[in-house]
Structure 1
Amino acid sequence: MSHAGRMTAARSLLTAALGAGVCYCLYRALSARGKRGGSGLQDRVRGMTVRRSAGVQSENIPKCVGNLEAHHLESLLQLLSGSSDSPAIEQILVTLGNSAAFSVNHDIIRNLDGLRIIGGFLLHPDPKIKAGALNALNNLSMNLQNQEQIQVFINEVLKSITESTINSEVQLAGLRLLVNMSVTNNYHEKMADYIPNFLTLLDGGNDTTKIHVLKILVNLSANPLMSAPLLAAKAPSALTFIFDCSSTRDVLIRALTFSANLSENLGRECDGQGHYNEDSLYAVLFEDPAALQRNLAPLLLFPDPEIKEQVRRCIGAKTLKYS
């Protein structure tokens, strides 16, 4: 069969492959490659489960879903590494991200050099593509071996978070990835310089942003070695607003847990607290114990036992008489 015939056959197969969830992104990228001389990808997509379709229209293009097989993932990654078509790149990243929700694909994508390929799009100027790469890496980061490769991108992720519009999808996708990357202590030091930025997001972000930032801060504060950079970080002077009774429970419980972790770590320090600046997190939260008690005491009236327990951890069991 001639090259033109093979390309036509491949496009027909891909157009019919709506049920596989990858047809459109493969079709567009394959078309682009065909104009540059072809790639023979039709051989790697044979055997896909297909169903007949009356045709592909833009409003009917499905999002790429489903647990793809290894050869499908290989084809997608090859297309991704060579494509300059932004809509195709975005769709392929969505497909890979959805596929990475299946743990069986974590090792496959890593072994196909997929983490490096996907991570390369963190520098892309299109926010949709950048968010797609972050979301895909987030799902892939549920694997500790994958984290060893993803950690090389932490600086790019942190820059994406700090340089993106507040509460944007790129910012949230980056925060979600760092939540996973901070579950172990392995990469905490890589995030230390950006702690002031996290604290600033607590001051200006919406509840969703605050919750993700606080998840990271809780993970960091659970590591005693991170106490010094956390307590020394520059913090907004009004940060204690996170203890306000009007805060949502999801924000409040994480803010209290973060503060309680730091409070307990302070109690273990042997050299005192005199080395923190007046605009540090230590100064905002702990320099005036009486102010901290005033901020936290109303929370002891909450009916939620977990909130009460975290308050007690913050201020110490002997400080207040509990109701």
Structure 2
Amino acid sequence: MLVRGYGRSLLGMAIGAGICYCAYRLLFAQRRKKKQRDRVGASSSSAGEKVLGVSALRYLHETQAANKPGNVSTSVNDLQPHHIAKLLDILATNSDSSLQEKVLITLCNSAAFSVNHDIIRNLDGIHIIAKALSSSSEQTKVNALNALNNLSMNVQNQELIKDYIYQICSAISLSSLNSEVQLAGLRLIINMSVTDNYHNMVADHLPYLLHLLAEGNNNIQIHTLKVLVNLSANPAMTQPLLTTKVEGSQSLTCLFNSRINREILVRVLTFAANLSKHLGSGNGHDLHANYNEDCLFNLLFGDSAPLQNDIAALFQYPDVEVKEQVAILLINLARLRQM
């Protein structure tokens, strides 16, 4: 069923690619130690590009000024636990979307400091911030997602944020294409998918992730691929990914092209290489299962998959990481052909 018609040429390319792959690994081993390969996490978010929620802090100051003038600093670095508690109280009890946005900016920036992660969690802050995801204000949703993204850098916080993964994925799928909500939501899912713990919670939204990969702009595509690379590194996600229905297959196959953005190309190759590595590897992923015609398996590894016609040409691409992923794919395609 798989990769028929290549015969000796594919095997020869695989052997040559394997030799080159070993040489590249040896030559660039030191470089690779400095860079994480398969699992990628997003950096922390800055709300308003480091613009502090001064208006929210001023609101706090005004509510306390009668008793303790000047007690509240206008610097997020100086926020004390009781300041954070008051901000969370404002967010939980005030329906003014403008004020909520400002409070969330301040909470987001305070959550960029690891010292505040436990404080916010112990004040029930994750639940309070997550409630803002239901807001009708797009900016409020973005600010809430950014705050949760910063909080997700803490493993204990992830245990609470996982309860909102479905809502986060729904916010991504229900928002307009290439919106700030989608970008902020993807950043959060990237962090939540660095470990295998919550991958199954994203499975229902795989078709929309592939839709974003096919139709999104470069920034959305790169962030979507970061999620997909994380998921594909988990053998347990191979079958859900390969059986996912693909719409706009031509848009996806166009990504395996030397003219595509390098950041997209290296990640889409890594995604495919991860899947090819797990396929037929004895982890319960049946190479000869009856896959639907319009699923990801047939797009990547089916008899007439465009990927198989174009992959060897990409070995001429002037980038070490691209060459490495191409080599892995060629080796795995040759292995799968023998099965």
> What's the TM-score, normalizing by structure 2?
0.77
The 3 A distance-change label for structure 1 pair 41 and 279 is farther
For 2:270, the aligned partner's letter is T
Instruction: Name the structure 2 match of 1:10.
Output: none
| 1:137-156 equivalences in 2 (<5 Å) | 137-156=148-167
- CA distance in 2 between counterparts of 1:44 and 1:281 reads 62
Greater shift after overlay, 303-312 or 39-48?
39-48
Q: What do residues 270-300 of structure 1 show as CA deviations (whole Å, max 9, x unaligned)?
A: 6333221111000111012774332212210
2:244 corresponds, among 233, 239, 245, to: 233
In structure 1, stretches of 5+ residues that fail to align are 1-19, 32-38, 51-63
The 3 A distance-change label for structure 1 pair 182 and 290 is closer
> What's the TM-score, normalizing by structure 1?
0.81
1:107 corresponds, among 93, 105, 118, to: 118
In structure 2, stretches of 5+ residues that fail to align are 1-50
Q: What do residues 158-207 of structure 1 show as CA deviations (whole Å, max 9, x unaligned)?
A: 11000101110001000000000000111000000110100011111001
The answer to whether the aligner puts 1:172 opposite 2:183 as a matched pair is yes
Pairwise CA distance, 1:46: 5.7
The 3 A distance-change label for structure 1 pair 307 and 78 is same
Pairwise CA distance, 1:138: 0.5
- CA distance in 2 between counterparts of 1:187 and 1:122 reads 19
The 3 A distance-change label for structure 1 pair 222 and 160 is same
Q: Secondary structure at the match of 2:246?
A: coil
- Conserved? CA contact 1:21–1:66, under 8 Å: no
Pairwise CA distance, 1:317: 6.8
Instruction: Name the structure 2 match of 1:252.
Output: 265
Instruction: Name the structure 2 match of 1:314.
Output: 329
Instruction: Name the structure 2 match of 1:120.
Output: 131
CA RMSD after TM alignment: 2.4
The 3 A distance-change label for structure 1 pair 163 and 49 is closer
| 1:73-222 equivalences in 2 (<5 Å) | 73-222=84-233
- Conserved? CA contact 1:45–1:71, under 8 Å: no
For 1:190, the aligned partner's letter is M
Q: What do residues 213-246 of structure 1 show as CA deviations (whole Å, max 9, x unaligned)?
A: 0000000000000001000001132221111111
For 1:218, the aligned partner's letter is V
- Consecutive aligned runs of 4 or more in structure 1 exceeding 6 Å deviation: 39-42
For 1:274, the aligned partner's letter is A
Say how many residue pairs are matched.
281
- CA distance in 1 between counterparts of 2:131 and 2:65 reads 22
Q: Secondary structure at the match of 2:292?
A: coil
Pairwise CA distance, 1:249: 1.0
The 3 A distance-change label for structure 1 pair 318 and 144 is closer
Instruction: Name the structure 2 match of 1:72.
Output: 83
- Conserved? CA contact 2:60–2:72, under 8 Å: no
- Conserved? CA contact 2:312–2:330, under 8 Å: no
- CA distance in 1 between counterparts of 2:125 and 2:68 reads 17
- Conserved? CA contact 2:276–2:333, under 8 Å: no
The 3 A distance-change label for structure 1 pair 249 and 22 is closer
Same amino acid, percent of matched pairs: 48
Instruction: Name the structure 1 match of 2:71.
Output: 47
The answer to whether the aligner puts 1:267 opposite 2:291 as a matched pair is no
